[in-house]
């Protein structure tokens, strides 16, 4: 397996090793949130639009606006029948690309700039003027300046400027609407209370155009050392309750407000928190030790040390979703004859429904319904997978043995992937009561729930490396988890493609599938 490190500065394997050197793992008790914590979590159940995603969409939108302005002026004055259509098209696309590049380099896509179009109108004018200065130079150097109409040139300048100005004002208005409704913000939880947390919150609240929404504070210390209210924000529970809170609410970031010097306590927290699909930052605003500015990320002017980053976030998540939709549709079309024949065979072989729905753990530990072709007798199906299927299991039908061996029973999960509850590639979802030697998987493997930092998949890195089928030994779930975490840390679309195309080849090995 690849040894590439996680994007964050903490090493997962080091955290696991430190955890394993402590006491033996014991079954986790169910954690219940306080009524206040449940009420706060309910406010943040819906996804928010990250500022990074909004500004990315703004780049695409303004590229389209500029290109369409140039094309509209060309069609209305020059006409589509012009023999120089390609030269005009080249100029339009170049102008659109130059504007986005100039706006990017002038920090024109920062949320603070987009929120105040009046204040930064001069920046837009300079960028737009720079576009046409470059166009004029390029046309002169290529000796094609005589091709372009001066009316088109002037019309493009005026219409483009008006369109971009209107676009900026509409973007500012939309950002205000989204901010008021809580749809565009970064939701943060402060880890650790007391004076450090109060200083951090006051500093964050002083930042202009702050997009951080503080949802509450969690701390293991009692009320004497960590007051129940800090800078107006309530303490909602301890660290174990924070993990449950982050699975109910859509939290983007955990900000640890402990001194950098409290290394042992920070490591203890990381051993618990790294399983969550969130960014984890260590506040450095009160640290005496000062690193180079590039060592920090910043919220406004507040320095943070990046501990862990949420995997497959923002544009990566959009790219992966498009990947799932395209290849799921392709798979459904390609395998539709096989799925139809399988449905008929199941119906003829035994009584009961063709599709079997099983509750499994999905992204962020949510419970989802995963679809499979029914491979057992309907009166002996095990929706919770408490009793794993073994070799020559009498509960499996004749058709079921074949479709389980060939993994045809998994084909309905293309529809899960198309609907969004699964991804095509990711850690395989396990049933909620799946166990090894009467121990739930999360009791066998420390950090098991870190598999759920991304959507589970129809196929995965562990499966194509031979870790599929019955889990009759704790070592098997340990290895599956290790491969799954390796996939999360090294994810890319090319990695997904590799796994997807290797899957049919590796599934030919049916030794552990029954």
List pLDDT tens digits, range 121-173.
Answer: 999 999 999 999 999 999 889 888 888 888 999 999 999 999 999 999 999 99
Q: Which of 180, 214, 232 is the last residue of a domain?
A: 180
- Which residue has 């598999």 as its token pair? 451
**Are residue 457 and residue 354 in the same domain, yes or no?**
yes
174 and 189 share one domain: no
Distance CA 293, CA 272 (A): 29
> Do 232 and 287 fall into the same domain?
yes
Helix (H, G, I), strand (E, B) or coil at 160: helix
CA 163 – CA 70 distance, rounded (Å): 11
Lowest mean pLDDT among 100-104, 201-205, 422-426: 201-205
In a domain, 256, yes or no: yes
Q: Is residue 7 part of a domain?
A: no
What are 427-444's pLDDT values in tens digits?
A: 988 877 766 655 667 766
Q: How confident is the model over 359-386, as pLDDT tens digits?
A: 888 898 888 999 999 988 887 776 666 6
- Tell me which residue range forms the domain holding 303: 12-48+185-308
Helix 315-349 with 398-405: angle, nearest 10 deg: 150
* pLDDT digit string, tens, across residues 164-211: 999 999 999 999 898 888 788 889 999 988 888 888 898 888 877 678
Count of structural domains, the chain: 3
How far apart are the two ends of the chain, measured CA to CA in Å? 27
**How many residues would you count in the chain?**
514
How is 133-159 classified by DSSP, letter by letter? HHHHHHHHHTT-GGGS-HHHHHHHHHH
Q: Are residues 388 and 450 in the same domain?
A: yes
Integer Cα distance of 450 and 456 in angstroms: 11
Residues 451 and 320 in one domain: yes
């Amino acid at each position: 397996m690849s040894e590439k490190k996680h994007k964050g500065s903490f090493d997962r394997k080091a955290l696991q090793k430190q955890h394993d050197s402590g006491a033996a793992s014991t079954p986790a008790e169910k954690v219940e949130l306080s009524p206040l914590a449940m009420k706060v979590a309910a406010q943040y159940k819906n996804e928010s639009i990250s500022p990074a995603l909004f500004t990315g969409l703004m780049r695409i939108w303004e590229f389209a606006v500029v290109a369409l302005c140039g094309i509209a002026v060309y069609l209305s004055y020059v006409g589509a029948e012009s023999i120089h259509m390609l030269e005009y098209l080249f100029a339009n696309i170049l102008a659109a690309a130059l504007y986005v590049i100039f706006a990017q380099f002038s920090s024109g896509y920062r949320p603070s700039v987009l929120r105040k179009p009046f204040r930064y109108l001069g920046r837009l004018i300079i960028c737009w003027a720079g576009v046409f200065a470059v166009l004029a130079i390029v046309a002169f150097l290529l000796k094609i300046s005589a091709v372009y109409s001066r009316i088109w040139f002037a019309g493009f300048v005026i219409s483009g400027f008006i369109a971009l100005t209107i676009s900026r004002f509409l973007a500012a208005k939309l950002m205000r609407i989204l901010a008021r409704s809580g749809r565009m913000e970064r939701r943060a939880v402060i880890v650790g209370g007391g004076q450090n947390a109060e200083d951090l919150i006051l500093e964050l609240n002083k930042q202009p155009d702050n997009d951080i929404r503080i949802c509450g504070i969690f701390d293991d210390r009692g009320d004497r050392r960590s007051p129940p209210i800090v800078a107006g924000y309530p303490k909602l529970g301890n660290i174990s309750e924070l993990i449950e809170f982050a699975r109910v609410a859509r939290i983007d970031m955990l900000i640890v407000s402990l001194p950098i010097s409290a290394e042992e306590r920070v490591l203890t927290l990381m051993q618990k928190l790294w399983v969550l699909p969130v960014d984890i930052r260590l506040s450095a605003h009160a640290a005496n030790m000062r690193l180079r500015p590039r060592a920090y990320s910043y919220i406004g002017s507040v320095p943070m040390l990046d501990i862990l980053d949420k995997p497959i976030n923002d544009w990566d998540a959009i790219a992966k979703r498009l990947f799932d939709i395209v290849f799921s549709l392709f798979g459904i079309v390609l395998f539709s004859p096989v799925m139809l024949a399988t449905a008929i065979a199941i119906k003829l072989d035994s009584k009961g429904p063709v599709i079997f729905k099983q509750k499994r753990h999905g992204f962020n530990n949510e419970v989802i319904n995963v679809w499979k072709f029914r491979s057992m007798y309907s009166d002996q199906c095990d929706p919770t997978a408490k009793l794993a299927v073994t070799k020559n299991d009498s509960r499996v039908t004749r058709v079921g043995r074949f479709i389980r061996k060939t993994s045809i029973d998994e084909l309905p999960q293309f529809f899960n992937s198309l609907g969004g509850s699964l991804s095509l590639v990711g850690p395989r979802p396990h049933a909620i009561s799946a166990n090894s030697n009467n121990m739930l998987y999360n009791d066998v493997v420390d950090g098991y729930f870190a598999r759920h930092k991304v959507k589970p998949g129809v196929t995965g890195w562990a499966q194509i490396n031979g870790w599929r089928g019955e889990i009759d030994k704790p070592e098997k779930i340990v290895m599956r988890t290790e491969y799954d975490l390796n996939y999360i840390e090294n994810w890319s679309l090319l990695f997904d493609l590799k796994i997807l195309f290797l899957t049919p080849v590796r599934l030919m090995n049916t030794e552990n599938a029954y």
